[in-house]
Amino acid sequence: MASSTAAAAASSFMGTRLPDIYTNSGRVQSRFGFGTKKSVPKKSAKRNSDRPLWYPGAKAPEYLDDQNLSKNSAGDVIGTRTEVSDVKSTPFQPYSEVFGLQRFRECELIHGRWAMLATLGALTVEWLTGVTWQDAGKVELVEGSSYLGQPLPFSITTLIWIEVLLIGYIEFQRNAELDPEKRLYPGGKFFDPLGLASDPEKKATLQLAEIKHARLAMVAFLGFAVQAAVTGKGPLNNWATHLSDPLHTTIIDNLTS
């Protein structure tokens, strides 16, 4: 208990990743697994906890029981993990009944990866073309589809269908993977051609760096969206405006004007 409490106390918003979290943990049933029988997942026994709390007298949610103290690390799985032998899922079974909080950690990482791409894309497009990310679609509709200034032989509708089919197929294949580690970090020659994650210690460091950047990117893009709604400008334009008059061009001035 003392070591677990120390691990939780040492963690922060960014988290501290603990290696070998999946060792001897077994395989977890996937969302799209098929089975003929359904058994009720076993619930861990409740016990009193002396975990550190945010403020005195606070009551921790039931799903944040003591088993999470040693697993509360960035990018890893927290919450109850149910073995395949205990759960026979169906396509209609709620994801949370199989994974618990693992589903939320998985969504956090996937959304963070999209946010990193979106943040980089928004900044790059405005820097190279002067077009803000929220107006990029309008340009495509007026001038036709193009990439790096070169016209594409596809209409916007065709490009949308290509994206939906490709991403849909990729997501279906990803969710069909039973192993949560492989589902989030597939690796291999396609996703890790340089072998950067071949060393377990280096892999843990890269995973921690990824979740930190993912969380930062999600917050950053939320800021981009708020800026676009309030000022109608892109992030680089807003930044330049703020630098030109930092005392009178702030979030408070924009929201109250």
Numbered residues of the known binding site: 108, 111, 113, 178, 210, 215, 227, 242
CA count, 13 A, side-chain hemisphere, 148:
0
Count CB-CB contacts under 10 A for residue 208. Answer: 19
CA distance 11 to 109: 18
Q: Comparing C-alpha atoms, which of 236, 239, 245 is closest to residue 130? A: 236
Using an 8 Å Cβ cutoff, are 35 and 79 in contact?
no
Angle at 15 between CA 48 and CA 63, to 5 degrees: 30
Q: Which residues are annotated as a binding site for chlorophyll b?
A: 113, 178
What ranges in the chain are assigned the alpha helix state H? 2-10, 95-99, 102-129, 136-143, 156-175, 180-184, 188-191, 200-231, 235-244, 251-256
Which residue ranges are tagged as binding site for chlorophyll a? 108, 111, 210, 215, 227, 242
Which secondary-structure segment (H or E) carries 151? strand 150-151
Q: How many residues does the structure list for the chain?
A: 257
